[in-house]
Amino acid sequence: MSQVKKEEVRLAILASARTLFTTQGYSATTIPMIARGAGISPPNVYSYFASKLQVLYAIYDPWLRERFAALSAEVGARRTPATRLRRLFEGLWQELPAHDQGFANNVIQAISTATPKDEYRTGLIDWMEREIERMLVEALPPERHALVRNTDVPHMVVMAMDGYIMYCHTCPERACSGRTIDAMCRMLLG
């Protein structure tokens, strides 16, 4: 007989995992810990999620999309290409890495320890790169659009963001500086 999934159990799993990921980190959090916090047995977690990575992405995906929506609105509200670009890089390289006690570092930990059985999917990073390309194109003057359209520049921006996420977690003194953001803006603006 198949188990009937209950939304309140799913939400309890996600709430427990969110707390543990925030306080312990992804690597130190186990499925039994998540289950205990949700008031269920570990096998019950697997009725809802195939892996700990899937639990994390169920939390991280909407979290990241909210951050990007807010950042996109803030970038769009700026008047000049320079101020739009600056706001974009501040959001991606300074604020997102530190947001919610460095919550994004959980994804770095997860990906670095993932195995094929975890079924890592690239859909979120693909979406993120498309959003960054869109925001860059909207921020830049039309004559500079070719610098980012159909190039690896959005991917490079994500890789830099991932580096700053790791620095925020391991070496906070290596946070992205305003000088670095200014240099990137000058390069893209020409």
Average pLDDT over residues 51-55: 94
| Cα–Cα distance measured from residue 57 to residue 48, given in angstroms and rounded to the nearest whole number | 13
* 166 in the same domain as 106: yes
Do 48 and 10 touch, CB atoms closer than 8 A?
A: yes
Which residues does 168 contact at the CB level (< 8 Å), separation at least 6?
Answer: 97, 98, 102, 105, 175
**Domain co-membership, 15 together with 70:** no
**Helical packing angle, 52-77 and 7-24, nearest 10°:** 80
31-38 and 52-77 are packed helices; what angle lies between their axes, rounded to 10 degrees?
Answer: 80
Indicate the number of domains in the chain: 2
On whether both 134 and 118 belong to a single domain, the answer is yes
Judgement on whether residues 87 and 154 belong to the same structural domain of the protein:
yes
Percent of the chain with pLDDT over 90: 86
What is the structure's pLDDT at 4? 59
181 and 132 within one domain: yes
Take residue 141 and report the two structure tokens written for it: 């003057």
User: Could you tell me where the DSSP H helices lie in the chain?
Assistant: 7-24, 31-38, 42-48, 52-77, 81-89, 96-102, 105-113, 123-139, 153-170, 178-189
> Looking at residues 138-150, what average pLDDT do you find?
96
In this prediction, residues 88-95 reach a mean pLDDT of 98
Distance CA 70, CA 67 (A): 5
Q: What is the pLDDT of residues 57-82, one digit of tens each?
A: 999 999 999 999 999 999 999 999 99
Q: Which domain holds residue 82?
A: 52-189
CATH of the domain at 40: 1.10.10.60
Angle between helices 52-77 and 105-113 (to 10 degrees): 140
Q: Are residues 58 and 93 in the same domain?
A: yes
CATH assignment of the domain containing 152: 1.10.357
Q: Would you call 179 helix, strand, or coil by DSSP? A: helix
User: Do 30 and 83 reside in the same domain of the chain?
Assistant: no
Kindly report, residue by residue over 117-141, the tens digit of the pLDDT: 777 778 899 999 999 999 999 999 9
Do 39 and 65 have their domain in common?
Answer: no
Q: Based on the domain organization, do 58 and 9 belong to the same domain? A: no
Check whether residue 103 and residue 183 sit in a common domain: yes
Residues 38 and 82 in one domain: no
Whether residues 1 and 56 share a domain: the answer is no
